[in-house]
Amino acid sequence: MEQREFGGSNMAKPSDNLFLHADGDAFFVACELTKRPDLKGKPVIVGVDRGIAVAMSPEAKRLGVTRGMPVFQIKKLCPSVVILPHHFDLYRDISERMHEILFSYAKRVEVYSIDECFALVTPPEIKYFSTPEKFMSELKREIEGSLGVTYSLGLARTKTLAKQASKLEKPAGVVMLLDKVDETRALKKTPIEDIWGIGRQTIPKLARLGMKTAYDFVKFDPSLTLPKGEGTTPLPLEGVRGRSARFSRPLFELQRELSGESIWDVEDNIDPRDQKSIQCTETFRPASTDPKIIWKELAKNAEGACEEARALRLLSNKVSYFVKSSEFKYRTAEVKLPFYTSDPGLVLSAIEPNFPRLLKKNERIRSTGVILHNLIREEKAPRDLFGAQDKALKRTRVEEVADQIREKYGHDTIKKAASLKKK
């Protein structure tokens, strides 16, 4: 990736939010290959249990296998192809781990499908890595090093441009559209039928108006203003050669998005109390080999995750935690609690006995994380005969008072001793 100064002339400004789109490459097949590395480089498809090809490896595509092709036909025409059944638990696991990685880089993430997601990347999140190029490079390295699959990544000034960017250099591509020159080049490469958001029935109508590429679509002048109260009602336009064209409001907004005007936002408005896990992770600099420093960082993550859970009145009885080395090697462990809690003291007490096993001598650790699993609403916490759950809830009340102190006097006013910096 070409290194450029963020915020230079003709580029997105350092004060601007950017949009990221991540799209899994041959996702189902890639997931299967994490369990069957012996099949890498071979023609593989997924779909034997459905009777048709649902996903294909690049090698299978080169043999002429297409999506939806019947399995019996594939076996006849391409006997060397390996045909596998679906394993949706595996796909969901890798997808959720991808989302957890993305949440460690950006606070707002939209899960679009099992193999696609968007994120809103803010200026401070870019600034941490100094440039957009380094941000994307670090993200790509972590995804591939941690998951064993590849994603094509797009970063741009609008959500639609980010989606188009991720398509341009598949597989495993990283494309950034941060200025008009790059946007124009990308739009000219994109056929009209490959524009996200344009339906199949609309494509022939746009083609009849002389539009062959996304650039033609952006430059087409509908000569209209949207009247108040028009909603999504199609608006009559005068097309070329005397034809009558009709643009709906979503189509008009799509045109503005592709021209670099941000209209559509990342949608993360699901009920936060319905989430099944909460993760808090942070990269620290410089990387360290000191167990005390690493534990301090992990304790901060436990406090952060538990504080978020308390704000939502959620409880967890299963906690996983990890360390990540400078070489992007992960070591993880988990602990099951005999009760549900959002008290970081109880979480850290459960983690501490096995924490040293995650560390290797002289290995530099750059990041730690804590994930609360099996989240339930506080009012639904099951009670037990021996009162362990009630005792855990009483402990949580102390933390809730601490939350009130932080809200009034500042976030760092009161903390667990384990997460305090060495004085």
Give the residue numbers annotated as catalytic, written as ranges: 116
Query: Is 371:321 a contact under the CB 8 Å cutoff?
Result: yes
Q: Which amino acid is at 237?
A: L
DSSP 291: H
Cα–Cα distance for residue pair 339/381, rounded to 1 Å: 9
Strand, coil or helix: 370: strand
Helices (H), 36-87: 58-62, 71-77
Residues linked to residue 179 through DSSP beta bridges, in sequence order: 11
Residues 6+ apart with CB under 8 A from 197: 160, 250, 254
The pair of structure tokens assigned to 420 is: 């305090």
Instruction: Confirm if 416 and 301 have CB atoms less than 8 A apart.
Output: no
Query: Do residues 129 and 140 touch, judged by C-beta distance below 8 A?
Result: no
Residues with Cβ within 8 Å of residue 410, at least 6 apart in sequence:
none
Helix, strand, coil fractions of the chain, as percent rounded to 5: 40, 25, 35
